[in-house]
A and B are shown apart, each in its own frame.
Chain A
Amino acid sequence: MAHPDILIRARGLTKRFGDFVAVDGIDFELSRGEVFGFLGPNGAGKSSTMRMIGCVSPPSGGELTILGLDPVRHGPQIRAKLGVVPQEDTLDVELTVRENLLVYGRYFGLRREEIRDRTAKLLDFVQLTERAGDQVDPLSGGMKRRLTIARSLISEPEILLLDEPTTGLDPQARHVVWDRLYRLKQQGVTLVLTTHYMDEAEQLCDRLVVMDRGKIAAEGSPRRLIETYSTPEVLELRFALHEQEQAAEKLADLPAERLEVLADRVLVYAQDGDEALAAVRGRGLAPVTSLVRRSTLEDVFLRLTGRQLED
């Protein structure tokens, strides 16, 4: 039997749609109490992986064990212990906020009184108590997402799955969602999330895998990934459009670890960004703007795949 604290174990997990391989033989493990992330651009296979974990998409190959059970044979038993926040809102917009939780709680076989108690607490948690009797339709995107999170928690799940939890939200609404998710993390809820926002992954995840084209490119804590695949600091340089190419040539032998020439800027990966900037200026180059910052997961992704995360 599996180790009791390993909640999900995948070995060579694969998902094919016809000839297209969405998930190409990935391995990962999820431990109790951790926040685990799948970071990658759109089309990396994150959502397909989440659907397999959610037992609504049978794997095409490999092994997948969730809570010690086989998702194909024990879907209902596993799903009874999962909370799911899908990428696209699936709330019943014709019902009220409270009715949405009632309907969902009943799906899990909970008693009405139980649902009523939990609804009060959950609506308080997602700051929607005042909207309890309102129809869902007119709620803002951020409110709907919070309601979806409340709905996913009605069954007190052992694992909470969040597929792109803040995609499509404005920055303020996103921060409110992050704050709630951070509180769940503090309460020790096991979270699995997919995201293509590196700041989301960095803030929330204890551990993550970087996914690209159906494969796992790297795995580790955000800090560890940055240490392994990037330099402590990054110097971002913007040049006048016609000068960028020339400038990049002159920078080629800069005492930096790595240089990335993007469409609109040049990234200089260095131990010390200010030192690198001084070296740039020393070569007589005058960037329009220059910025020294710390490395992020975006840089890790760029290093691993040669592409940017967010388009």
Chain B
Amino acid sequence: MARAYAVRQLRFWLTNYRRTWKGSIYSEVLSPVLYLGAMGLGLGAMIDKHGTASLGHVSYLAFLAPGLLAATAMQTAMGESTYPVYGSVKWLKTYQAAISTPLRPADLFHGHLLWTTLRLAMGSAVFLVVMTAFGAVRSPWALACLPAAVLTGLAFAAPIEAYAMTCSKETSFALLFRFGVIPLFLFSGTFFPVTQLPAVVRPLAYITPLWHGVALCRSLSLGDAQLGSSAVHVAYLVAVVAAGIYAGQRTYRRRLYA
């Protein structure tokens, strides 16, 4: 019953996506091509010349690509779980319309998470294809990057969506992007190993979900994944998703059932 209601909300997002899918596919293909081209090949050629010991003796392209995959999943998740959610309750009020049907606030939340999962899977699949075309994949384990990237994205989507439901001003999101997403994007091991960071700030990187996602995707793509550390990454990400779902069920209810 509950699952069926969430699927009804997923169908809404699919209907909605029919208006914008062309533009979104375009940027989903273009973005990895540009990043891997400019940084992986361009910048990578310079880095590779100076030795890649600190990268674990792989080309910069092979190092960067799985990190970017995880970071892109984070960005997709952030995009999906901020303005579209906030807009549904604040601008369009389509959430208020939906709760007058059999759907409950939690169904809207779960439905949107299902939709975000689908978006993440599509985006990550495209990214993996581009990665492969660039020759940035070192192992067939790279296929497991798909669920790993989706999980990384959800570790942002669930808690951020829970937070978005409590916001009364959209400026909250600008702050979130400026002081949350951009630093994470830059310092979670996507572009350079976290070991390059000063020892004092390193633990900060280790507690971010993105670092776990990057490390997991990278080890899978390079084919040197360890069972133990992979399990820790997955468990950490799952715990964050679970906490986000718990919080979101409450914030959705509080916002919509006044």
Chain A interface (Cβ < 8 Å from any Cβ of B): 17, 51, 54, 56-58, 75-77, 79-80, 82, 84, 86, 88-95, 99, 102-104, 106-109, 151, 155
Nearest CB of chain B from residue A151's CB, rounded to whole Å: 8
Q: A75-B104, A92-B16 are in contact. List 20 more A-B contacts (CB 8 A).
A: A56-B99, A57-B258, A76-B5, A79-B100, A79-B101, A80-B102, A86-B96, A88-B96, A90-B94, A90-B96, A90-B97, A91-B97, A92-B92, A92-B97, A99-B15, A103-B15, A107-B102, A109-B4, A109-B102, A155-B101
CB atoms of A102 and B92 under 8 A apart: no
Measured in the bound complex, the distance between the Cα atoms of B12 and A75 in whole Å is 21
Query: 14 interchain pairs (CB within 8 A)?
Result: A54-B100, A56-B100, A76-B5, A79-B100, A80-B101, A80-B102, A90-B96, A90-B97, A94-B19, A95-B16, A102-B15, A103-B15, A107-B98, A107-B102
CB-defined contacts of B92 to chain A, threshold 8 Å:
90, 92-94
Complex interface bits, B2-13 against A, C-beta within 8 A gives 1, otherwise 0: 001100110110
CB-defined contacts of B19 to chain A, threshold 8 Å:
94-95
Complex interface bits, B84-120 against A, C-beta within 8 A gives 1, otherwise 0: 0000000011101111111110000000000000000
CB-defined contacts of A106 to chain B, threshold 8 Å:
8, 11-12, 15
CB atoms of A79 and B15 under 8 A apart: no
Nearest CB of chain A from residue B78's CB, rounded to whole Å: 21
CB atoms of A107 and B8 under 8 A apart: yes
CB-defined contacts of B8 to chain A, threshold 8 Å:
106-107, 109
CB atoms of B94 and A79 under 8 A apart: no
Q: Which of B8, B98, B102 has the most CB of A within 10 A?
A: B102
CB atoms of B100 and A76 under 8 A apart: no
Measured in the bound complex, the distance between the Cα atoms of B257 and A77 in whole Å is 17
CB atoms of B100 and A103 under 8 A apart: no
Nearest CB of chain A from residue B3's CB, rounded to whole Å: 13
Known contacts A99-B15, A107-B12; decide if A76 and B93 are in contact (CB<8 Å): no
CB-defined contacts of A17 to chain B, threshold 8 Å:
258
Chain B interface (Cβ < 8 Å from any Cβ of A): 1, 4-5, 8-9, 11-12, 15-16, 19, 92-94, 96-104, 256-258
The 7 A-B pairs with the shortest beta carbon distances in the complex, nearest first, are A107-B101, A90-B97, A84-B100, A76-B102, A90-B93, A80-B102, A90-B96
Nearest CB of chain A from residue B12's CB, rounded to whole Å: 5
CB atoms of B97 and A108 under 8 A apart: no
CB-defined contacts of A151 to chain B, threshold 8 Å:
97
Measured in the bound complex, the distance between the Cα atoms of B99 and A75 in whole Å is 10
Nearest CB of chain A from residue B90's CB, rounded to whole Å: 12
Measured in the bound complex, the distance between the Cα atoms of B15 and A80 in whole Å is 21
CB-defined contacts of B257 to chain A, threshold 8 Å:
56-58
Measured in the bound complex, the distance between the Cα atoms of B101 and A151 in whole Å is 11
Measured in the bound complex, the distance between the Cα atoms of B5 and A88 in whole Å is 24
Measured in the bound complex, the distance between the Cα atoms of B4 and A58 in whole Å is 23
Measured in the bound complex, the distance between the Cα atoms of B258 and A104 in whole Å is 22
Nearest CB of chain A from residue B145's CB, rounded to whole Å: 34
CB-defined contacts of A108 to chain B, threshold 8 Å:
101-102
Measured in the bound complex, the distance between the Cα atoms of B102 and A84 in whole Å is 12
CB atoms of A88 and B93 under 8 A apart: yes
CB atoms of A104 and B101 under 8 A apart: yes
Nearest CB of chain B from residue A76's CB, rounded to whole Å: 4
Nearest CB of chain A from residue B165's CB, rounded to whole Å: 15
Nearest CB of chain B from residue A133's CB, rounded to whole Å: 13
CB-nearest residue of chain A to B13: A103
CB-nearest residue of chain A to B2: A76
CB-defined contacts of B100 to chain A, threshold 8 Å:
54, 56, 79, 82, 84, 86
CB-defined contacts of B12 to chain A, threshold 8 Å:
103, 106-107
CB-defined contacts of B103 to chain A, threshold 8 Å:
76, 107
CB-defined contacts of A92 to chain B, threshold 8 Å:
16, 92, 94, 97
Nearest CB of chain B from residue A139's CB, rounded to whole Å: 14
Measured in the bound complex, the distance between the Cα atoms of B11 and A76 in whole Å is 18
Measured in the bound complex, the distance between the Cα atoms of B258 and A160 in whole Å is 21
Measured in the bound complex, the distance between the Cα atoms of B16 and A51 in whole Å is 27
Nearest CB of chain B from residue A150's CB, rounded to whole Å: 13
CB atoms of B104 and A76 under 8 A apart: yes
Measured in the bound complex, the distance between the Cα atoms of B256 and A99 in whole Å is 23
Measured in the bound complex, the distance between the Cα atoms of B123 and A40 in whole Å is 53
CB-defined contacts of A58 to chain B, threshold 8 Å:
257
Measured in the bound complex, the distance between the Cα atoms of B99 and A90 in whole Å is 11
Measured in the bound complex, the distance between the Cα atoms of B96 and A140 in whole Å is 21
CB-defined contacts of A54 to chain B, threshold 8 Å:
100
CB-nearest residue of chain B to A77: B102
Nearest CB of chain B from residue A155's CB, rounded to whole Å: 8
CB-defined contacts of B16 to chain A, threshold 8 Å:
92, 94-95
CB-defined contacts of A88 to chain B, threshold 8 Å:
93, 96
CB atoms of B256 and A56 under 8 A apart: yes
Nearest CB of chain A from residue B15's CB, rounded to whole Å: 6
Nearest CB of chain A from residue B13's CB, rounded to whole Å: 10
CB-nearest residue of chain B to A102: B15
CB-defined contacts of B5 to chain A, threshold 8 Å:
76
Nearest CB of chain B from residue A225's CB, rounded to whole Å: 30
